[in-house]
A and B are shown apart, each in its own frame.
Chain A
Amino acid sequence: MTDVRGARPETDRGRRMSGIGRVLVAVYGVLALAAVGRSFVQIATKFDEAPLAYSLSALAAVVYVVATIALVRAGRGWYRIAWATIAFEFTGVLVVGTLSIAFPELFPHDTVWSWFGRGYLFIPLVLPVLGMWWLAKHPPVHADVDASRADAAGDQRPASGADAA
C-alpha cells in the first residue's frame, strides 16, 4: 500500500501522533474503551447503588475519549484540550486515589481511579504523566505548517487559524 504521507516525513514530524506518540494514543484509546465499557455496565445495572461513583466513572470515561481525540488532532486548540483533559485525569486519579485509601467508605464501589487505578494495572496513574511529558516535548506546530498538510484542509485549518489570531 503506497501511502502519500509516508513520502513526506517532514510533515509527519509536527504531528503529535507520530513516532512513539501513536503508541500513547493507542493505550489511551484502549483505556477510554475500558472506561466507557465499565461505566456503561455500572450505569445500566446498578446506578442507584452509588450514583456519585458511577457519575464520576462516566465523566472520567468521557474525558478519556476526549483526551484520545485531542492527542491525535493537530492545532493549538486541540493541544490545549489535550493538556486540560490529561491534567484533569491526573488530578482525578490523585484525588480519588488518595480519598479511596484514606476514606474507603466514601467510595464503596470501584471507579477507574480507586486505589490509583489498581484495577487497571495503575495505567490511569502512569498514563497522564507520559501524556504530559509527550505534550511538553511536542508543542503545536505553526499554523502555516498545519495548513500545508494535505489532510488538514478540512476541519482543522479554521480551528488552528482562529487560535493563532
Chain B
Amino acid sequence: MIEWFTWVQVAVAVVAGVLCLALGFAGRVPSDLTNGALALVELLLVVQLVVAIAAPAFGNEPTGSVLEFYTYLVGALLIPPAAVFWALLERNRWSTVVLGVAALAVAVMVYRMLQIWTVQQA
C-alpha cells in the first residue's frame, strides 16, 4: 500500500462525498459530474487493488490481517457501482445524496485499510 496514494484516495473520496451531498441537498438530480466523481472513486479503488496485489513483491508487506484488508477492499469496490446503478435507475435528488453517502463510506473504508496495512499489529 502506497501511503501518499492512499491519502490522495481518501481526499478524493471525501471531496466527492461532500460534493454529492451538497448537490443532493440542493435538489440536483444525479449528473455526469456526480456519477463521474463516483467513477473516479471506483477507478482509484481498482488502482489500490493492483497496488495491494503488487506491493508485497516489492517488500511492502501489510502489518495487519491480509484477509481483513481485502474484505474491506472488495467491500469498498462494490459500493460505487451500486450507488451509480441506483442513481441511473432513480433520477432524483436523493440518489445524489446516496452517491455522497457511498463516497464517504469508501473514504472511511480506505482509511481503515491504511490502518490495517500500516499500524495494526498482526
Q: Which residues of A are interface residues toward B (Cβ below 8 A)?
A: 1, 3, 5-6, 19-23, 26-27, 29-30, 33-34, 37-38, 40-41, 44-45
The size class of the interface chain B forms with chain A is: 20 to 34
> How far, in Å, is B14 (CB) from chain A's closest CB?
15
> How far, in Å, is A151 (CB) from chain B's closest CB?
11
Which residues of chain A have C-beta atoms less than 8 A from B94's C-beta? 19-23
The dominant DSSP class at the A interface is: helix
Whether B102 and A3, one on each chain, are in contact in the complex, defined by CB atoms closer than 8 angstroms, is: no
> Chain A residue with minimal CB distance to B76?
A33
Which residues of chain B have C-beta atoms less than 8 A from A6's C-beta? 90-92
Which residues of chain A have C-beta atoms less than 8 A from B86's C-beta? 22, 26
Which residues of chain A have C-beta atoms less than 8 A from B83's C-beta? 26
Whether B101 and A33, one on each chain, are in contact in the complex, defined by CB atoms closer than 8 angstroms, is: no
Bound complex: CA A155 to CA B110 (Å): 38
B75 at the interface (CB under 8 A from A): yes
Closest 7 CB pairs of A and B: A26-B98, A37-B71, A30-B105, A41-B68, A22-B94, A37-B75, A26-B101
Whether B88 and A29, one on each chain, are in contact in the complex, defined by CB atoms closer than 8 angstroms, is: no
> How far, in Å, is A39 (CB) from chain B's closest CB?
10
Bound complex: CA A5 to CA B89 (Å): 9
Which residues of chain A have C-beta atoms less than 8 A from B97's C-beta? 20, 23
> How far, in Å, is B54 (CB) from chain A's closest CB?
23
